[in-house]
Each structure stands twice: as C-alpha cells, then as structure tokens.
Structure 1
Amino acid sequence: MGVRGIRGAITVEANEAKEIAAATLELTRAIVEANAIDPVDICSVLVTVTADLDDTFPAQSIRQLPGWELVPLMCSLEVPVKGSLEKCIRLMLLVNTDKGQAEIEHVYLQRARILRPDLTKQ
C-alpha cells in the first residue's frame, strides 16, 4: 500500500458560506465515491480557495461528514494568478491505497472542468 494524491476542484457562483459548504461537500463526496475511499485511509486533505471566497472555512463542512472527525484538514489560499479561474475550491486528498497512479480518478466539477480537461470524465 502506498500514498496517492487525489485532486479535485469545483466552482461556486457566490461568496456565501452555504454555497461554499455545499460545493465543498459535493466535491468531497464525488472524490470519495469515484475512488472508493474510506476516511480511515486518508492521510490528510488540503483545501484551497481563491481569494474571492472568504465567507467560511470549507474544511468545516468536510469535518461534519461521518468518519471524518479525525482526518487532518487544512485550508489555504490558492496562488492569485492574474486571469485564473475565480470562485474556485480545490482539494488534494492524500490517501493510503493499493491503486496505481493511472487508477486514481480526479474530479473536476462545474466551471473547474476547464482546469484539467484531460482528467474530466463527465
């Protein structure tokens, strides 16, 4: 078993706590489902947001998921590159898994699909 990184991103329309929380949960659940992740196998989760999302900590919504109480979560700001995608939440899950790199399913939703069209399956 080794550690693999699983990426994902989603956008929101407004800088509102409820919308940020809902989108964060949607993305987290999609990554978990796509990769059959058990929370006890998660090493840590890094959550980044663009600077225009400052109404809540997205990690707080993840912490409410059953079994995620002890998962280390950290929020940070995304690098503010001019012209980059706005109102975007990104996740990086580090997970203990037997899956190979090519078996990992990264998840990009909403307008975030443009970030990695090569990995977007929807």
Structure 2
Amino acid sequence: MIRGIRGATTVETDDATEIVSRSYELMKEIVEENRISAEDVTQVLFSATADLNAAFPAKSLRYLDGWKYVPVMCMREIDVPEGLSRCIRVMVTVNTTAEQKEINHIYHHEAIKLRPDLKEEGGAK
C-alpha cells in the first residue's frame, strides 16, 4: 500500500542553516516514528511559504543515511491570507503495510497549529 506521511515545521528567520536544520529535525522524526526505510520511499515533496527562500528544505534529506537516491522536490506553498508564516511542509510517499490510522504525522514548533485534530487523536507527534 502506498501512503502519504505529512509533516510541517516553522523557522524563526529566513536563514539557510535554520531551514535545513529544522527540515532535518522534522524528517528524522518522521522516519523514526514511522519506521521508514529509504528503499520504501517513492518521493518526498517539500513546500515553503513565500517568506522563505534562503535554502531548499530538500537539502536536509542528504544528511539522512541511505537517502542519497530518494527523489525529492521543493515548491512554493500557496500564499493564503492569514496562513502560517515561515512554514515548511513535507509529504513523504511510502510503501508500507501500516494502516492509515497508524501513520504518525509530525508537526513541530508553530506548525502544530495546522493539525490539532491529529494531535488529539494520537495521529500526530
């Protein structure tokens, strides 16, 4: 079964080091909480809000052991009024035997506000 695993984080400033570091922190937890092997990943898609352009969040994947050949792409998040600023989102598409309700979607920092419903149900960490 192919499943999507979502995650998001925020940064304090448009700083390359912080963007890559927070993206790595997010991906590391997604991998650990969902017991993902790079070989089971179809693709990873990152998006960033318009106020972030100092670095590609996708660069963070290159710091995960064994993820060198995983296809990854970055794109711009749509600019929704009242949307969360300085936000990085990720969608990891994986082959897994886990049921939908067993997937752990990960939200860090201010991005926790995006899916409080998952936190209450235990589907977000």
TM-score by length of 2: 0.94
Q: Determine the C-alpha separation between the residues in 2 that align with 1:61 and 1:97.
A: 23
Q: Counterpart of 1:26?
A: 25
Whole-angstrom CA distance in 2 between matches of 1:40 and 1:28: 15
Q: Across the two proteins, how many residue pairs are aligned to each other? A: 121
Q: Give 5+ residue unaligned stretches, structure 2.
A: none
Match of 2:74 in 1: 75
Matched ranges for 1:79-90 at <5 A: 79-90=78-89
Q: Note the alpha carbon deviations across 1:11-53, whole angstroms, 9 max, x for none.
A: 0000000000000000000111110101110000000000000
What secondary structure does 2:117 align onto?
Answer: coil
Q: Equivalents in 1 of 2:93, 2:60: separation in Å?
A: 18
Where do 1:49-60 residues align within 5 Å?
A: 49-60=48-59
Measure the CA separation in 1 of the matches of 2:116 and 2:58: 26
For 1:45 and 1:54, the matched residues in 2 are separated by: 19
Provide runs of 4+ in structure 1 moved above 4 Å. Answer: none
Secondary structure of the structure 2 residue equivalent to 1:98: coil
Contact 1:107 1:119 in 2 (8 A): no
- The answer to whether the aligner puts 1:97 opposite 2:91 as a matched pair is no
CA–CA distance in structure 2, aligned partners of residues 65 and 103 of structure 1: 23
Equivalent-residue separation in structure 2 for 1:65 and 1:9 (angstroms): 18
Gaps of 5+ in 1: none
RMSD: 0.9
Deviation at 1:65, TM superposition (A): 1.6
TM-score normalised over the length of structure 1: 0.96
- Structure with the higher fraction of residues in helix conformation: 2
Q: Distance in 1 between matches of 2:5 and 2:60?
A: 19
Q: Match of 1:70, as an amino acid? A: Y
Q: Deviations over 1:55-114 (max 9, x none)?
A: 011111212321111100000000100110000000000000000101101001100000
Residue 44 of structure 1 is matched in structure 2 by: 43
State the alpha-carbon separation in 2 of the partners of residues 118 and 82 from structure 1.
22
